[in-house]
Amino acid sequence: MWWAYFHCYQLTLDVHSQSTQQVSTNLPTVVYNPQQNCIVQCDSAALKSGLDINMGLAQAASLCPDITIIDYCADTELSALNALAHNIYQVASDVVILPPTGIAVRLDNLLQYYGSYPVLWHALTHEFTQANISRDFGVAWGIEAAKVLAKHKNNRFYTTHQQVKSALQNCDLNLCELSDKTRSALNRVGISAVGPLLAMPVQAIGQRFHNDVIRYLTALRGETFPTVTLFRPKETFASHITLPFEAENAQHLLPYIKSLLTRLEHYLRARNLLTSSIHFTIGFRESDNLDLGVSAAHTMVKVMDWQLLVELALSSKQLPEPAISIHLTCDSFDDVSPEDDDFFSQRFSLLAQKQLLGRLYAKLGDEGNTRVLMGNDHRIEKMTSHQSVTSVSEQSAAYSPAFLFDKPTPLTTPSRICFGPLRINTGWWDNNTYQRDYFIVETHQEHRLLVFRDANEQWWSQGVYS
């Protein structure tokens, strides 16, 4: 097995930043945990002001009077992890949520789909970048080892066991999931790093420590793989935002509602779904929650369409007291049908194409506008031609590639046939006679090529499909 562990070390700050991107300020912001009576997360502005994690609230306020304080909420971070796992699940099958700040993804079983680790890693990290989630990561043979590397801020992608062993050597023992009593006992015998711990025989550890320590050590070494619960997305959508301030006016809720609707749009588009009804729950400190159901006459997906309806529904509502949270749920979905043009409203329609051509024709004239049209020849090289045109031709060649090579090149890439053969034996009228059997093939990199076999049984590549 080969796992990646992502340590999302400032989830609350990231969620706060996303929800306040339209009303953001440059004030230092920290996350305060009342149970621990200390700061647990700091943004870059807070760090520049001299604030740090584990600092008390009184000391932080004395150093930075203009500090913005957010209360730590485990439910908020768990909701953010679930939303992130939903996105990752579109590109990876084995996803494990490890609260309060971790997500693990199995990598080795995805190679057959992505072809290489760099391609897979780009797809995974793209989801984190899109979600604006800060993270450190580690890659190893198991979740436990990858977690230690992530907390060590390793941030390197390893592909061999030897690389992982070398990286674990100098990791601090405090990064391991061991009790304080166990760490103290190990420190007394001179073990303060992960490397010496991995070198200890299991029998020697078993004589001094509990079985839980042995189980963790064997998992850290990659000798055993503890059972984990894989993430499976729910069939309904739910998303929650805790407001950074108490909103007295319903209009102040609109930026945060837009953020929730954006998440809903991403959820629907990823699953090719539409919906005609959504439900908001606005939370208060003392008053009962305010339920706000919004329904549309037809199924929709776009943020701007839903936002107009929500604004109308909110205009008739009076908040009993300042709001502190907003929750959005959606449990009624419809599949996208050919009659629904809302989902594909961004497509380049024939009418828009004609309008564009008309404007270009008026601006540039006949010679300045050419279009690729069907030629009067079956030979691939002469199947299309550039002609001046002011209207859209609907002719097309079903098997003609998007890009043709200047000259056919020998086919050397291993590939499999997807279509063919299509024999073309023509050209006798212009002394350019040839006989070719055309095929469409797919390479291991999932690229589709137009190839042909000539009369001498030689294979050639002539074009690439987009």
Confidence of residue 279 (pLDDT cuts 50, 70, 90): very high
The answer, yes or no, to whether residue 31 has pLDDT greater than 80, is: yes
Banded model confidence at residue 388, pLDDT cuts 50, 70, 90: low
Cα–Cα distance, 309 to 115 (Å, whole number): 45
Quote the pTM value. Answer: 0.63
- DSSP structure string for 377-410: -SSGGGSEEEEE-SS------TT--SEEEEEEEE
Which range has the worst mean pLDDT, 13-22, 260-269, 360-369? 360-369
Q: Residue 329 has what pLDDT?
A: 93
d(CA 326, CA 238): 11
Q: What is the pLDDT of residue 136?
A: 93
When pLDDT is cut at 50, 70 and 90, the band that residue 344 belongs to is: very low
Residues β-bridged to residue 270: none
What is the rounded distance in angstroms from the CA atom of residue 93 to the CA atom of residue 96? 10
Highest mean pLDDT pick, 275-289, 334-348, 361-375: 275-289
Mean pLDDT across 373-385: 61
C-beta separation of 39 from 70 below 8 A = no
Of residues 171 and 207, the one with the higher pLDDT is: 171
Peptide bond into 100 cis (omega under 30): yes
Joined tokens for residue 283:
């939370």
- Say what the pLDDT of residue 367 is: 59
Q: What is residue 151's predicted lDDT score, i.e. its pLDDT?
A: 93
Spatial contact of 102 and 6, defined as CB atoms under 8 Å apart: yes
In which residue are the tokens 């828009």 written? 352
| Residue at token pair 């500090």 | 67
User: What residue type is assigned to position 410 of the chain?
Assistant: P
pLDDT surpassing 90 at residue 338: no
Across residues 353-375, what is the average pLDDT?
54
Q: Please, are residues 237 and 267 in contact by the beta-carbon 8 Å criterion?
A: yes
Backbone angles phi, psi at 437, to 5 degrees: -105, 110
- Indicate the pairing of strand 403-410 with strand 459-464: antiparallel
Question: Per DSSP, which regions of 116-197 are E strands?
Answer: 136-140
Nearest alpha-carbon partner for 139 in 120, 115, 126: 120
Beta carbons within 10 angstroms of residue 239's beta carbon? 21
pLDDT of residue 361: 47
Predicted pLDDT of residue 98 = 92
**Residue with the two structure tokens 């199947």:** 383
pLDDT bracket for residue 5 (50, 70, 90): very high
Quick one: average pLDDT of 65-74?
A: 85
pLDDT above 80 for 394: no
Average pLDDT over residues 88-99: 89
- 357 or 103: which carries more pLDDT confidence? 103
**Neighbour count for residue 253 (Cβ, 10 Å):** 22
Q: What separation, in Å, do the N-terminal and C-terminal C-alpha atoms of the chain show? A: 35
Q: State how beta strands 68-71 and 95-98 pair.
A: unpaired
The yes-or-no verdict on residue 22 having pLDDT over 50 is no
Cα(270)–Cα(266) distance, integer angstroms: 6
What is the structure's pLDDT at 391? 42
Q: Taking phi first (over 0 means left), then psi (-120 to 50 degrees means alpha), and beta for anything else, what does residue 323 get?
A: beta
Average pLDDT of the residues of the chain: 82
pLDDT tens sequence across 124-171: 998 888 888 899 999 999 999 999 999 999 999 999 999 999 999 889
Q: Would the pLDDT of 389 be above 60?
A: no
Lowest mean pLDDT among 151-165, 376-390, 427-441: 376-390
Tell me: pLDDT of 346 over 70. Answer: no
- Helix, strand and coil percent figures for the chain, each rounded to 5: 35, 30, 35
User: pLDDT tier at 376 (50, 70, 90 boundaries)?
Assistant: low
Give SS3 for 95: strand
